[in-house]
Structure 1
């Protein structure tokens, strides 16, 4: 009987400990700067997730170096479950291999994917290059600049893959976030940019910016006149680089603690308030399980690593 009571006491203590987590604030480190499209999506998610977590959820912005600064911060923090990260799944499938980092890509554990990006190339509204054919003709004659978020990130790679497949001369200009390079295009400092549609939807509507080409398999329903790269004969499927924005954890964090946060953020991704906020921003809300994220990562690696090798972008980790 004493053994039974001892076992029940241990189980009760373990249950109480699990319920007590998190014991303090939980930090979510992101490589996107305040006000950028992806960062605003995280803020919407955190507002909803706070309904399911009784300790503060704090966003920590560590922009730069293609999200690697933020992921370094995540992996350097104690693996006790009180630090999470927000990152695109293409970081683990592509960007990681372009930096010298002190951890393996698979040590970053997907928790839940909550939004998906849909990329396009855009120019200033009165640009003479707003038609696809005009842009391509110019880029075949001389170098055309395009902005994006960091070296080795999705905008960078999309431009490089497109240039390689179409024989274009494109010059990449790296910024910390879309809130920097969208105004640079509007001001005429950079000719074009590659971004998720939500970042420029209002400007496309009012004509201050113009969409040139969609990097996906389908045209955007809200902007049906912008052609896809596939329609224009580009023979590389670039849709896989339309990243899923994902909450991640250190794989070494206790599994029971990670599950508590996974449950909270999965509920948040399904919350009507979050969905309304994402819809209003023009982003595409999703709920993607960790297993699906890993499948996407492997597919991105199969396509991107050989290409990065050809382009001399790989770093030995």
Structure 2
């Protein structure tokens, strides 16, 4: 290419670059121009809803706009995700994205209503949400080692509850079954409420559930907490060991919750939301409340969250394949 034509292009390129930079800055400066809506794919009262409602008011203060929590339960979070994707990609409609929606369902559903990698922009991981392993208080075991030994003595007789097939709690049980080499039977419920009722009554033997909704039963003696399904002990429950401490290798069925946006959301807007969420999670009163509920505040960058999602999706994909889990 001759030098003279190239020189003629330089002013236009400079103008285009300046325009892009101005547009990029404008997107951040103009946002938010109206209330922010965070869609939650589950009913009020669950851990994802609790986290969203906890950070919402402080996030509103940082953004200078009201933050509304909108519950859209159903289809494992896909109804809420689809509603977000139907909204303008301007940062004013966000999703409380979860393990089940982005990391598990793509492996078990024949057809997803969206591409979890191409259609959704990771903004920030809000929390890690480790499971607690709880058993019926009359089950004659007081540790994971005793539970494994008991299950080996009674193959096929020990059952574990979950809030549904292909949920994190179900796959945590399948992971224990595989890693410990025991034969335990899955019993799927339509939600955690009935599963917990039957566990307390002794209709089922054990469950993997979030501490925020289950520790009340352990503290009252209605259930026995054996371990946390996390690489390390939780600060709120320092006396409860990890499953790995019982000698079960590679046991890390940790779930999470994060903030996601639709594709084509301006980068500057995504970065602004991430910064504000991270500030909220760093507030002592917010961090203290999350930790007390057995959750781990994160606040990662969009790049870190994207890398985490890729690894997490591979992890759960292996569990789904090994257990041959199919959607009902």
TM-score above 0.5, yes or no? yes
Checking the alignment, whether the CA contact within 8 Å between 2:104 and 2:313 is kept in structure 1 is yes
Unaligned runs of 5+ in 1: 1-7
* Native 8 Å contact 1:111 1:247 kept in 2: yes
Provide TM-score, normalisation by structure 1: 0.82
Which region of structure 1 is more displaced relative to structure 2, 290-299 or 130-139? 130-139
- Partner residue in 2 for 1:194: 208
Q: Residues 309 and 11 from structure 1, CA distance in 2 versus in 1: closer, same or farther, beyond 3 angstroms? A: closer
Q: Residue 283 of structure 1 aligns with which residue?
A: 295
Q: Map of 1:142-291 to 2, 5 A cutoff?
A: 142-165=156-179, 166-176=181-191, 178-179=192-193, 181-224=195-238, 226-235=240-249, 237-239=250-252, 241-291=253-303
Tell me the number of residue pairs that the alignment of Structure 1 and Structure 2 aligns: 306
Q: Specify the alignment match of 1:5 in structure 2.
A: none
SS in 2 for 1:94: helix
CA distance in 1 between counterparts of 2:29 and 2:271 reads 12
In the TM superposition, what is the alpha-carbon distance from 1:35 to its structure 2 partner?
1.0
What's the secondary structure of 1:247's corresponding residue? strand
Q: Cα offset for 1:247?
A: 0.8
TM-score by length of 2: 0.79
Distance 2:237 2:102 in 1: 30
- Between the aligned partners of 2:270 and 2:25, the Cα distance in structure 1 is 15
Select between 135-144 and 54-63 the one with higher mean Cα deviation: 135-144
Higher deviation after alignment, 28-37 or 299-308 = 299-308
* Pair 203,276 (structure 1): closer, same or farther in 2 beyond 3 Å: same
Is 1:82 aligned to residue 92 of structure 2?
yes
Question: d(CA) in 1 for partners of 2:218 and 2:130?
Answer: 15
Which of 114, 133, 147 aligns to 1:103? It is: 114
In structure 2, C-alpha distance between the alignment counterparts of 1:219 and 1:24, rounded to whole Å: 41
Q: Which moved more, 1:287-296 or 1:124-133?
A: 124-133
SS at match of 1:142: coil
Say if 1:267 and 1:227 are closer, same or farther in 2 by CA, change over 3 A: closer
- Please tell me whether the aligned partners of residues 22 and 82 of structure 1 are also in contact (alpha carbons under 8 angstroms): yes
Q: d(CA) in 2 for partners of 1:67 and 1:9?
A: 38
The whole-number CA distance in structure 1 between the counterparts of 2:320 and 2:61 is 42
Tell me the SS of whatever aligns to 1:175: coil
Matches within 5 A, 1:33-72: 33-72=43-82
Task: Indicate the SS of the match to 1:35.
Answer: coil
How far apart, CA to CA, are the structure 1 residues paired with 2:203 and 2:55?
33
- Distance in 2 (alpha carbons) for counterparts of 1:95 and 1:185: 26
CA positional deviation for 1:84? 0.5
Which of structures 1 and 2 has the bigger CA Rg?
2
Relative to 1, partners in 2 of residues 1:152 and 1:53: Cα closer, same or farther, differing over 3 Å?
same
Would you say 1:120 and 2:132 are equivalent positions? yes
RMSD: 3.2
Cα deviations by residue, 1:200-255 (Å, 9 ceiling, x for unpaired):
233323322211333233344554554433333323x132x312321111122232
Q: Secondary structure at the match of 2:261?
A: strand
1:25 to 31, 35, 44: 35
The answer to whether the 8 Å contact 1:85/1:247 transfers is yes
1:122: Cα distance to partner?
0.6
* Aligned-partner SS, 2:245: coil
Q: Deviation digits for residues 31-79 of structure 1, max 9, x if unmatched?
A: 2321112321211111210111233211121233332332222223332
Query: Does the CA-based 8 Å contact 2:130-2:294 persist in structure 1?
Result: no
Consecutive unaligned residues of structure 2, counting only runs of 5 or more, are 1-17
